[in-house]
Structure 1
Amino acid sequence: MPSNNGYSGGSVTYEFGLDPIGEKVPVTGGGSVVLFSAHFSGGGSGTLDRLAILRYGADGRIVNLLPYVGVTNQSDRAVWQIATVSNFPILVTADFDWAEGETHFSEHRYVVKAYKFDPEKDRYLEALSYETSKKYPGLDEVDRIDVLNAERAQILKQIETPSQTMR
């Protein structure tokens, strides 16, 4: 995974490369992409995963179709196939919003984002972003963060709306 100079807005450079995982994901109508993730840890209780959706470009090089997407170990993520929205898989993430007075692994509200393929731009764009109105259990209470199942109806309602603007 290439480092992400500039994303952090300072002299910090996150180097990803721990626990690389690639998963082949079908594209409706034929073909596939690869959901790739790599891990960064600074040695503390928090970690960061960088996500990429990869495919071969016309020149034979591997191309990342996603903008920068990084999620912590307090996140939930999924790839959904929604043929009525896109032939390409949709990446959905939920990452915690650490508010004042909360501890790292306590209950949090989550920022839910969905990334949808834009055929005109030949890449994924952020299709929606919102903060949950409800707090969900953190890793103090559960072994795995599970936000997207509970938020699925809200996400689908927003992402299936034709007037939804991609950024």
Structure 2
Amino acid sequence: MPSNKEYSGGSVTYEFGLDPVGEKVPVTGGGSVVLFSAQFSGGGSGTLDRLAILRYGADGRIVNLLPYVGVTNQNDRAIWQISTVSNFPILVTADFDWAEGETHFSEHRYVVKAYKFDPEKDRYLEALSYKTSKKYPGLDDVDRINVLNAERTQILRRLGAPSN
């Protein structure tokens, strides 16, 4: 995964080389893309994963269809197939919002984002972003962050999809 300075405002260069993972994801109507992630760690309690959705371009080169998407180790992410919204898979993330008075791994509100493929631009764009009204347990209390299942109805409504 390419280096990145944008996440930190340019003060730190993030090198994403740890724990690379790729997952083939089908596209409705045929074909597939690959959800790819790689991790950066500065050696502390937090890590940062950079996500990419990859496919082969017309020239045979691998192309990342996502804008810069980085999530911490306190995130929940999923690929949802919602054919009423898009033939391409939709990437949904929830990452903690560290408010004053909270500890790193305590309960937090989460920023939920969804990325949807735009056929006219031939790339993914951010389709929604909101902060949860409810706080969800952090890694002090759970082994895995679980926000998206609880927020699914709200996310689907905001995407304009049926909630079933």
Amino acid at match of 1:45: S
Count of residues in Structure 1 that have an aligned counterpart in Structure 2? 161
1:50 maps to 2:50: yes
Aligned residue for 1:22? 22
Structure 2 matches for 1:89-108, cutoff 5 A? Answer: 89-108=89-108
Secondary structure (helix, strand or coil) at the match of 1:155 reads helix
Amino acid at match of 2:41: S
Amino acid at match of 1:122: D
Per-residue CA distance 1:81-133 (angstroms, 9 max, x = gap): 00000000000000000000000000000000000000000000000000000
Aligned residue for 1:150? 150
Matches of 2:6 and 2:135, distance apart in 1: 31
Matches of 1:7 and 1:78, distance apart in 2: 21
Q: State the Cα distance separating 1:10 from its structure 2 match.
A: 2.4
Structure 1 runs of 4+ with >4 Å offset: none
Aligned residue for 1:59? 59
Secondary structure (helix, strand or coil) at the match of 1:154 reads helix
Matches of 1:6 and 1:137, distance apart in 2: 28
Aligned residue for 1:121? 121
Matches of 1:39 and 1:10, distance apart in 2: 18
Aligned residue for 1:164? none
Matches of 2:140 and 2:110, distance apart in 1: 16
Amino acid at match of 2:112: V
Structure 2 matches for 1:31-46, cutoff 5 A? Answer: 31-46=31-46
Amino acid at match of 1:75: N
Secondary structure (helix, strand or coil) at the match of 1:151 reads helix
Structure 2 length-normalised TM: 0.96
Q: State the Cα distance separating 1:5 from its structure 2 match.
A: 2.9
Amino acid at match of 1:116: K
Matches of 1:29 and 1:3, distance apart in 2: 34
Secondary structure (helix, strand or coil) at the match of 2:102 reads coil
Secondary structure (helix, strand or coil) at the match of 1:79 reads strand
Q: State the Cα distance separating 1:20 from its structure 2 match.
A: 0.2
Q: Percent identity?
A: 90
Unaligned runs of 5+ in 1: 162-167
Unaligned runs of 5+ in 2: none
Q: CA RMSD in A?
A: 0.8
Matches of 2:110 and 2:117, distance apart in 1: 23
Aligned residue for 2:10? 10
Secondary structure (helix, strand or coil) at the match of 1:137 reads coil
Secondary structure (helix, strand or coil) at the match of 2:2 reads coil
